[in-house]
Structure 1
Amino acid sequence: MITVSSHLKGDSDGFIPWGSVDEVSGELDLTKGAIELAVNDEPIIDKRSWDYIFPMWVYLADAVSALCNSGEGAFWFPDQPLQLRLLREDGNLNVVLSGKGVKREAMAGEIEFLEAVRARGLEFFEETCSIFPENRDSIRPILRRLGGGPLRVATRNAHWEERVSQQQAAAIRAAEQACGRRMNPCERDGLIVDIAGRSLIFQELFERATQVLRKGD
């Protein structure tokens, strides 16, 4: 399972989930925060590696786009000697954080990773448009890049079960069985964007899938 979340760094050592932030004083590019990224419960990026969160997300979006085009992507953190490297290897994705005496590494399913970053990245940039409305014009091209282009092509062309974790796929199948029908492609795509990259227990996943199915009846 791939999980991705965004947090604003508070005045002390605390962090606030990005989605619960209403406004932030100061410039967007200098706003401090953290991306948390874990592969199968193993943290690759965590709150200890906080930095300027907006450029860090832009760099991550560029790295996954490069991965789609060439099989490899990487970026340096905005204000510290840490590098995240993404490398396609034998049908899987090697995710490596290195620098400052740190090395964290994990193997992930490439499509699931791309879907998680795409979904939670779209969420981050859409929320950022609300928090920093004066920056909407500069954020929209990033939203278009994440919402379309090679990243969208890669996820759209994959089988839907590659786009989510085994637990997430099992919850969708269980909900379909309970409701007596399968989701259509539009319903499934919307649900995957909702759950990809999120840390949700099976019951929460099942309930979200069931809501989608019942809404379409």
Structure 2
Amino acid sequence: MFTCKSLLLDHRNKITNLDLIKASWFTEVTNTEGLRKISKYIDRNYMDGVILLNYNDQKIFTYRDWDSIEQLWILITVAIQEVLDKSEGWLYLPDQPAKITFKERGNDLIEMYTEWNDKTYILPEKELLTTLIEGAIQFFEAIDEPLELHGYFNDDLNFSKKLLHRVENQFNK
């Protein structure tokens, strides 16, 4: 079972050491009131944040993997589109020379490789892709009102929704 959460960094906190990151420095995007409270500290063009992704007891993305979260979600959805089109896709984290690759393995499994920690995960493909796309949708929907974005990410939201529909159709054959 996957869990996926998006959190924004409150810029009053500066990350200077990856080993000393505090969860309290971040606000989950589904916490509308919390986002409103930190809204004035969020750069709308470069939102530092983190995606926390776990599969059962495996931590795939952690606080150490924080980056420009809105860009990361866009890159993840484009990589998923590549997987659907070409059976593999990849992306680099927005501000780090760290690559993530996805390769279909057959038997409804996908290989996900995270370069920064040299880990390979063999995961259920439909569940991973669905979890990631739903995470992107949740992120773009959740930030719009409290950050007063006025639909700025609607194109990315609509792309993600179409991609989710495509995944559902592909795996329900």
Residue 68 of structure 2 is aligned to residue 52 of structure 1? yes
Query: 1:195-206, aligned counterparts within 5 Å?
Result: none
Q: Give 1:157 shift.
A: 4.2
Q: Percent identity?
A: 20
Q: Answer yes or no: is the 8 Å Cα contact 1:114–1:155 preserved in 2.
A: no
Quick check: which has more Rg, 1 or 2? 1
Question: Paired residue for 1:143, among 153, 157, 164?
Answer: 157
Distance 2:150 2:100 in 1: 26
Greater share of strand: 2
Query: Distance between the aligned counterparts of 1:116 and 1:93, measured in 2?
Result: 13
Shift of 1:112: 0.8
Mean Cα deviation higher: 126-135 or 50-59: 126-135
1:4-19 matches, cutoff 5 A = 4-10=4-10, 11-12=12-13, 13=22, 14-19=25-30
Q: Which residue does 1:94 correspond to in 2? A: 111
Retained in 1: the 8 A contact 2:143–2:149? no
The TM-score, its normalising length taken from structure 1, stands at 0.66
Select which of 66, 74, 88 maps to 1:72: 88
Partner of residue 171, structure 2: 158
Structure-1 residue corresponding to 2:140:
125
Q: Deviations over 1:43-81 (max 9, x none)?
A: 111111111111111111111111111111111111112
**Partner letter of residue 99 of structure 2?**
Q
Aligned residue pairs, count: 156
DSSP-derived class of the 1:93 partner: strand
What letter corresponds to residue 55 of structure 1 in structure 2? Q
Please say if residues 2 and 40 of structure 1, whose CA atoms lie closer than 8 Å, have aligned partners that are also in contact: yes
Q: Which amino acid aligns with 2:82?
A: A
- 3-state SS of 2:171 partner: coil
* Equivalent of 1:34 in 47, 50, 53: 50
What is the rounded CA distance, in whole Å, between the counterparts of 2:83 and 2:64 in structure 1?
A: 26
| TM-score after normalising by structure 2 | 0.81
Give unmatched runs, 5+ long, in structure 2.
Answer: 14-21
Residue 43 in 1 paired to residue 56 in 2?
A: no
SS in 1 for 2:134: helix
Listed one character per residue, the Cα deviations across residues 68-124 of structure 1 (whole Å, up to 9, x for unaligned) are 11111111111112111111112310011113xx22221111111111112221111
* Shift in Å, 1:156: 3.0
1:109 is matched with which residue: 124, 127, 131?
124
Q: Distance in 2 between matches of 1:159 and 1:36?
A: 27
Distance verdict in 2 for CA 1:135–1:60, change over 3 Å:
farther
Aligned-pair RMSD on alpha carbons? Answer: 2.0
